[in-house]
Amino acid sequence: MTRPSPAERRHIGEKARADLPLEAHASWKPASDRPDPIALLEGQAASRIPSLVPVRYGRMAVSPFTFLRGAALPMAADLATTSSTGIEVQLCGDAHLSNFGLFASPERDLVFDINDFDETVRGPFEYDIKRLAASLIVAGRSRGFTAHDNSHTVHVAVRTYRERMAEYAGMRAIDVFYARVDAEGILAYVDKRARPFLQSTVKAASHHDALHELPKLTAIGPDGQRRIVDRPPVIRHIDVTLPVEQATLDSYLETLQEDRRLLIQRYHLVDAALKVVGVGSVGLGAYACLLDGGGGDDPLFLQVKQAEPSVYERFLGPSPIAEHGQRVVIGQRCLQAQSDVLLGWTKGWHGRDLYVRQLQDQKGGAVVEAMTVADLQAWATLCGWALARGHARSGPPATIAGYLGSGTEFDHAIGDFAVAYADQTERDHAAFTAAIRSGRIKADTGV
């Protein structure tokens, strides 16, 4: 079978641009029959741990930005009503700015990439860009930045995506596969005003590992054994026995490469507890597992997390991958330059789809509350770069580059969309907090 040439793939993108002009992405207006976003969130609660749903709502209620983080389903429903390019990639599915960050590669170098894949599925590339752009405007407003600065932040992110995609379109496929965004390159690339922020993030990430987490999450009990400390409702033991948890981990081993399977088999399971994480994921089963390699000074923390269908599946059709833990892992491997060496999936108790990864492995994320304008714009640049690299790995970079062209029309169109959708997010957040005050839904900060 003959593959299309880069020129032919680029022409496909140019034709798609003729069918859907770049400026068409600028508009956002809710449909008259737009689903109630609160009702959509209430529908998600049906499959979540009931005692944790108020914690999820409490975290979402803090600000329009935290609401947006948890409202992947309402935004997916909104994006599904917009015109689509039809150019498919492996979507992150939840590409807001807090779902990007630093983590350690297998070679122990720090790299910057997408770090959340619960909603990953194949779909139109622009969905991820629009969610990232909206999150940048909402985050900038939360910091009190000017409308001009916030719009410029989006333009920076989208321009970076567009220019990087043009570069990837001109590269050999194998070179795109090996491309990555590493810490050394980041610090050399970004504006010098943002370097102190990024240097502190790199430094913090380099210290976040299992040994760092051990005294924070565990304590020695009266029996002399180390256990995870309960801090309800966000960390607590559940009525599942260690043999059941061990059986879950045993089946997970089958999804690892042989060398990594041997590595895990050098550890034994000591304890496991429910550990609430994030905003949108709150209420799904997420478990911290403490393993020990012997002697008490060789800890390993694994996170075992429940996976449900992507929020996009009800709009784009079901994933061809039936097990959603496997869907998450495959999507992550498609998008990330360097995935966790212990990433795998399994079926858990009660037939839940689960995926497994290290709980802490030199991870560093965006602390929006501490960002200056320059910091946010630097982070936006890195997000646009990492998203372009992931999309180029999993989709047709020449086609996307052909669609985007070399001008700034797409940058400004997405900027206009992001402002309009940020307005929508603020309206939705106001309705959400009103629903809490009225007693329609119950919220708990979880503190």
Render pLDDT for 136-168 as a digit per residue (tens, 0 to 9). 999 999 999 999 999 999 999 999 999 999 999
Residue 244 inside a domain? The answer is yes
Q: Mark whether 167 and 41 lie in a shared domain.
A: yes
Residue 44 inside a domain? The answer is yes
Q: Mark whether 350 and 423 lie in a shared domain.
A: no
The rounded Cα 30 to chain-centroid distance in angstroms is: 25
Q: Mark whether 186 and 224 lie in a shared domain.
A: no
pLDDT band at residue 367 under the 50/70/90 scheme? confident
User: Using the 8-state DSSP alphabet, how is residue 104 labeled?
Assistant: E
Residue 1 inside a domain? The answer is no
Residue 301 inside a domain? The answer is yes
Q: Mark whether 353 and 370 lie in a shared domain.
A: no
pLDDT tens, position by position, 253-293: 999 999 999 999 999 998 999 998 888 888 898 889 999 99
Burial of 394 (C-beta count, 10 Å sphere; 0-12/13-18/19+): buried
Question: Which structural domain, as residue segments, surrounds residue 234?
Answer: 210-358
Residue 445 inside a domain? The answer is no
Last residue of a domain, one of 358, 388, 418: 358
Q: Mark whether 157 and 272 lie in a shared domain.
A: no
Last residue of a domain, one of 313, 337, 358: 358
User: What's the pLDDT score for residue 241?
Assistant: 64
Domain total in the chain: 2
User: What's the pLDDT score for residue 206?
Assistant: 56
**CA separation for the pair 426, 197 (Å, rounded):** 28
Is there a contact between 78 and 30 (Cβ–Cβ < 8 Å)? yes
Overall average pLDDT of the 366-387 stretch:
92
Residue 444 inside a domain? The answer is no
Q: Mark whether 158 and 287 lie in a shared domain.
A: no
Question: Per mean pLDDT, which range of 9-13, 173-177, 348-352, 382-386 is the poorest?
Answer: 348-352
Q: Mark whether 217 and 342 lie in a shared domain.
A: yes
Residue 447: is its pLDDT beyond 50? no
Overall average pLDDT of the 365-384 stretch:
90
Residue 447 inside a domain? The answer is no
Q: Mark whether 307 and 291 lie in a shared domain.
A: yes
Q: Mark whether 428 and 326 lie in a shared domain.
A: no
Residue 439: CB atoms within 10 A of its CB come to 7
pLDDT band at residue 350 under the 50/70/90 scheme? confident
pLDDT tens, position by position, 100-127: 988 776 666 677 899 999 999 999 999 9
Strands (E), 64-203: 88-91, 100-104, 110-114, 121-124
pLDDT tens, position by position, 34-86: 999 999 999 999 989 899 999 999 999 999 999 999 999 999 999 999 999 99
pLDDT tens, position by position, 198-207: 667 666 655 5
Last residue of a domain, one of 333, 358, 383: 358
Percentage of the chain surpassing pLDDT 70? Answer: 89
Most confident of 293-307, 360-374, 413-427: 413-427
Q: Mark whether 71 and 48 lie in a shared domain.
A: yes
Residue 72 inside a domain? The answer is yes
Q: Mark whether 317 and 305 lie in a shared domain.
A: yes
pLDDT tens, position by position, 177-206: 999 877 666 766 666 666 677 667 666 655
User: What's the pLDDT score for residue 203?
Assistant: 64
User: What's the pLDDT score for residue 430?
Assistant: 98
Q: Mark whether 60 and 79 lie in a shared domain.
A: yes
What is this structure's pTM? 0.93
